[in-house]
Amino acid sequence: MGEVLYCIENQYGSVIAKDMNMDNAIIFVRALFDTYFGEDDIAYTITRQKEDKEIEK
pLDDT confidence of residue 41:
54
**pTM as predicted:** 0.55
pLDDT confidence of residue 52:
56
pLDDT confidence of residue 9:
86
pLDDT confidence of residue 51:
61
| Dihedral sign computed on CA atoms, order 34, 14, 47, 24 | negative
Model pLDDT for residues 13-50, shown as the tens digit of each residue: 888 888 988 888 888 888 877 776 555 556 777 788 76
Whether the pLDDT of residue 57 is over 60: the answer is no
